[in-house]
Amino acid sequence: MSNAPEIRRGHDDPGPDNPGRRRMLMGSAGAMAAVSVLGFIPLARADEPKSLPDYAAWKERSALIVHSTNTMETVRGAIGSGVVTPSDRLFVRNNLPAPSDEVTANADAWEVRIEGVKNPKTLTVGELKQMGVATVASVLQCSGNGRAFFPHGAGGTQWSVGAAGCLLWTGVPLKDVVEALGGPAEGAQYITSTGGEALPDGLEPKTVVVERSVPVKALETALLAWEMNDESLPVTHGGPLRMVVPGYYGVNNVKYVKSIALTETQTDAKIQASGYRIRDVGVKGAPDQPSMWEMNVKSWVTAPLETGRKGRNMIYGVAFGGTVALDKVEVSVDGGRNWKNARFLGPDLGPFAWRPFVLAADLEPGEHRIVSRATDAEGNTQPEQRTDNERGYGHNGWKDHGVTVAVS
Of 127, 131, 185, which is closest to residue 18 (Cα–Cα)? 131
DSSP 147-162: GGG-TT--SS----S-
Please check whether residue 301 is in contact with residue 404, taking contact to mean a CB–CB distance below 8 angstroms. Answer: no
Q: How far is CA 314 from the centre of its chain?
A: 27
Q: Which of 14, 145, 64, 83 is nearest to 318 (CA)?
A: 83
CA distance 219 to 13: 10
Sheet containing strand 211-215, strands side by side: 121-124, 111-115, 257-263, 190-195, 211-215
Assign 116 a pLDDT band (cuts: 50, 70, 90). very high
CB 380 within 8 A of CB 324: yes
Domains 22-273 and 298-407 share a fold: no
The CATH number fitting domain 22-273, selected from 3.30.505.10, 3.10.450.50, 3.90.420.10, 3.40.50.300: 3.90.420.10
Residues 146 and 295: their CA atoms lie apart, in Å, by 13
Which candidate, 171, 371, 390, places its Cα nearest to that of 276?
390
For residue 343, what is the enclosing H or E element?
Answer: strand 343-344
> What are the residue ranges spanned by the domains of the chain?
22-273, 298-407
Q: Which has more confidence, 247 or 19?
A: 247
C-alpha–C-alpha distance, residues 8 and 323, integer Å: 8
Phi and psi torsions of 271, nearest 5°: -65, -20
pLDDT exceeds cutoff 70 at 191: yes
Band (50; pLDDT cuts 50, 70, 90): confident
Higher pLDDT residue, 19 or 283? Answer: 283
Mean pLDDT of 28-39: 36
What kind of fold does domain 298-407 have according to CATH?
A: Immunoglobulin-like (2.60.40)
For residues 288-293, average pLDDT = 98
State how far the Cα of 372 lies from the Cα of 88, in Å rounded to an integer. Answer: 26
pLDDT above 60 for 324: yes
Task: Evaluate whether 297 touches 321 at the Cβ level (below 8 Å).
Answer: yes
d(CA 253, CA 244): 5
**Residue bearing the bigger pLDDT, 189 or 8:** 189
User: What is the helix (H) or strand (E) element at residue 93, kind and residue range?
Assistant: strand 92-93
* Identity of the residue numbered 137: A
pLDDT in tens, 255-268: 999 999 999 999 99
Residues 222 and 112 sit within 8 Å (Cβ to Cβ): no
Cβ pair 320, 295 in contact under 8 A:
yes
The per-residue pLDDT for 19 is 32
Average pLDDT score over residue span 24-45: 37
- Contact indicator for 90, 138 with CB cutoff of 8 Å: no
Q: What distance in Å separates the CA atoms of residue 366 and residue 47, rounded to the nearest whole number?
A: 35
